[in-house]
Amino acid sequence: MARSDITQTDVLTAIMLQLRSSLGLNARQCFETLEPLSPPVIPKGGDYFVSVAPGEGVFVDGEQAAGNCTEEWSIIVTAYTRIRLDSTDHEQLLLQDTSRGLLILKAKILAALVGGDPTSGGNPFMRDLIFAQQAERPRHGDMGKAQDIGSISIYFGVHFDWDLT
């Protein structure tokens, strides 16, 4: 099957749609950001929320011609959850709560994206299926006034051909 050349904004849009659909989140709960490892200023509603940040990209030598070039790009998906679930100095529920534990959210995000072959306008565009690259360790974030949250970030490889026409 032929792959379409595409713009980076269309790639990001297709991935956002895939995440929102798979996780059952709306645009306020699954959103784009530039800073994936810092908590948002105003926490979103719901049990958890997810941000998607553009990561690093590498242009492939030998895969560049007039009108298109290949980019091996990455995105960083971060899940945030409120952490007032456990006793002081314990994090079992923060990690394992069945609806919003960080390790549970990690599995949901991996299931939503790994092996994905999103389309734009019904046309596939990925050079490879979406793949997980690495994950950060779970973290605490302090937002003040009992708004503490926990987060975990996962990096994904997203390889595509730019449409430069």
Write out pLDDT tens, residues 103-126.
999 999 999 999 999 888 888 889
Q: Which two tokens stand for residue 73?
A: 């790009």
Q: Of 4-13, 30-39, 62-71, 142-151, which gets the smallest average pLDDT?
A: 142-151
- What local confidence, expressed as pLDDT, does residue 149 receive? 81
Asked, for residue 1, whether it belongs to a domain, the answer is: no
- What local confidence, expressed as pLDDT, does residue 113 receive? 97
- What local confidence, expressed as pLDDT, does residue 145 receive? 47
CATH number of the domain bearing residue 63? 3.30.2000.10
Domains of the chain: total: 1
pLDDT, the chain, mean? 86
CA separation for the pair 162, 165 (Å, rounded): 9
Q: In this model, does residue 146 exceed pLDDT 50?
A: no
C-beta separation of 151 from 79 below 8 A: yes
Instruction: Label residue 24 by pLDDT band (50, 70, 90).
Output: very high
What is the domain extent for residue 65? Answer: 8-163
Q: In this model, does residue 17 exceed pLDDT 90?
A: yes
Asked, for residue 3, whether it belongs to a domain, the answer is: no
CA separation for the pair 8, 161 (Å, rounded): 9
CA separation for the pair 67, 22 (Å, rounded): 33
